[in-house]
Amino acid sequence: MEKTWRARFPNTKTAATEIAFEAAWDLEKADWIQAATTESHVKFSGRIDRIDTDGNGHYAMIDYKSSVNNLRYLRRVTRKRFDGWFASRNC
């Protein structure tokens, strides 16, 4: 994967690695906000594995997936957390 990326975009350089992020989506306003403070805000957090740049203001976020099992676990946990929320709003 790395060799393919570098061959396809030879002018990119790694700008940062392992960047933590946190944001929230306001369901009522349909917009991003800094932090989740009410039930109508859905919190997103995670880690970006790598950010590359071409030095001209263009950036690419690269996220390596470690396994299919991690994705299955995330899907199962997310479904459990949001089932009640959607049910309470008749979605």
Give the angle 59-19-79 at the CA atoms, nearest 5°. 100
Task: Give the global pTM.
Answer: 0.56
Q: What is the pLDDT of residues 32-76, one digit of tens each?
A: 998 889 888 999 888 889 999 998 889 998 887 665 555 566 566
